[in-house]
């Protein structure tokens, strides 16, 4: 069974570090993992010891076209790789991506930490994007990849997302089994988490959202998070002095740096209970694709993409 989990929250909340710790937790347990750095600041890849080069980015035009060409396969419903939009679904003849080491997408566009764990990065703004770039455009190839993952495959997909609520711009909010919102006990961090929950509720995916409290010093901090968010965090981490010392030394974070690594187990256990069935997710993705198909700029650039639906 494949599990897709995202980490998000206010910038500086610790979401990238927690995502890296969770990847290492899964790795130590022997799981197959695809870690995807989808933050414009590109923090997850370095936290896992991977150098994120611009030419290797999933959103690099050459790489995005290669990936879409592979995903397209012989699907007659899509008029070539240039006609993928963010919500384009797999269809007859499409190729699905697995987490096997030999999968063409992983082999061509991911860095292997070992034969079971691979790391990709979406990319960031480059000098040529100044004044013309939009990071939502970069994320579209990630949405294509996520929608073309083989649901029967075994393993975990862990994404470090853009801070804030950008996941609601297209379909990312509907792509994950669990979305972990990392929240500090501060008004600014809580406001982002609260807004995320509000948008998730409106989008029909509130049950997929889980709060993890970070930098929680005492019971007053925990009570503050519960009171302000109206929900109990599924896991809580404290100040984590050992982790801070490791980061100050330039060492990638490891679960053993935590004062108590059981929070990582609680996140994994929570993810084991899916909140959205495969049928419900497919229906939601169809709705989002039809909404995308109705946009004027999509019709002008790609024609009627509603015909991409089976």
Tens of pLDDT, residue by residue over 141-195, are 999 999 999 988 999 999 999 887 888 878 899 999 999 999 999 999 999 999 9
Measured distance CA(37)–CA(45) in Å, rounded: 6
Residue 130 is predicted with a pLDDT of 53
Residue 134 is predicted with a pLDDT of 55
Burial of 80: CB neighbours in 10 Å, binned 0-12, 13-18, 19+: exposed
Angle, helices 219-229/187-203, rounded to nearest 10 degrees: 40
Measured distance CA(99)–CA(7) in Å, rounded: 20
Global pTM reads 0.94
What band does 136 get if pLDDT is binned at 50, 70 and 90? low
Encode pLDDT of 234-275 as tens digits: 999 988 888 888 888 888 899 999 988 899 999 999 998 866
Residue 72 is predicted with a pLDDT of 98
The predicted model gives 100-111 an average pLDDT of 95
With beta carbons less than 8 A apart as the criterion, state whether 15 and 9 touch. yes
Strands 2-9 and 178-183: parallel
Residue whose pair of structure tokens reads 């197959």 in the numeric block: 32
Higher per-residue pLDDT: 134 or 231: 231
Angle, helices 135-147/61-72, rounded to nearest 10 degrees: 30
Encode pLDDT of 51-86 as tens digits: 999 999 999 999 999 999 999 999 999 999 999 999
N- to C-terminal Cα separation, the chain: 24
Measured distance CA(63)–CA(60) in Å, rounded: 5
Return the DSSP state at 41. T
Q: What is the mean pLDDT of the chain?
A: 91
> What are φ and ψ of residue 248, in 5° steps?
-65, -30
CATH of domain 2-179+273-308: 3.40.50
The predicted model gives 111-118 an average pLDDT of 96
Q: What is the length of the chain?
A: 310
What band does 117 get if pLDDT is binned at 50, 70 and 90? very high
Cα-to-chain-centroid distance, residue 58: 13
């Amino acid at each position: 069974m494949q599990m897709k989990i995202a980490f998000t929250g206010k910038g500086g909340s610790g979401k990238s570090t927690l995502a890296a710790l969770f990847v290492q937790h899964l790795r130590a347990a022997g799981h197959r993992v695809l870690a995807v750095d989808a933050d414009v600041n590109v923090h997850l890849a370095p936290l896992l010891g991977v150098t994120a080069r611009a030419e290797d980015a999933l959103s690099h035009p050459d790489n995005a076209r290669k990936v879409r060409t592979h995903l397209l396969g012989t699907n007659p419903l899509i008029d070539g790789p240039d006609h993928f939009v963010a919500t384009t679904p797999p269809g007859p003849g499409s190729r699905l991506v697995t987490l096997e080491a030999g999968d063409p997408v992983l082999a061509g566009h991911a860095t292997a930490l070992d034969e079971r764990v691979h790391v990709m990065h979406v990319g960031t703004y480059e000098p040529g994007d100044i004044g013309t770039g939009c990071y939502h455009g970069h994320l579209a190839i990630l949405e294509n990849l996520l929608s073309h993952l083989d649901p029967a495959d075994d393993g975990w997909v862990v994404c470090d997302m853009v801070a804030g609520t950008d996941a609601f711009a297209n379909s990312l909010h509907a792509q994950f089994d669990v979305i972990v919102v990392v929240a500090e006990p501060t008004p600014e961090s809580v406001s982002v988490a609260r807004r995320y929950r509000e948008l998730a509720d409106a989008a029909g995916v509130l049950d997929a959202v889980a709060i993890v409290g970070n930098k929680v010093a005492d019971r007053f901090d925990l009570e503050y998070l519960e009171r302000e968010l109206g929900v109990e965090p599924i896991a809580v981490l404290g100040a984590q002095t050992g982790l801070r010392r490791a980061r100050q030394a330039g060492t990638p974070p490891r679960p053993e740096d935590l004062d108590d690594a059981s929070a990582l187990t609680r996140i994994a256990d929570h993810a084991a209970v899916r909140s959205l069935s495969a049928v419900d997710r497919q229906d939601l993705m169809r709705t989002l694709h039809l909404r995308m198909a109705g946009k004027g700029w999509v019709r002008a650039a790609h024609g009627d993409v509603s015909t991409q639906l089976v």
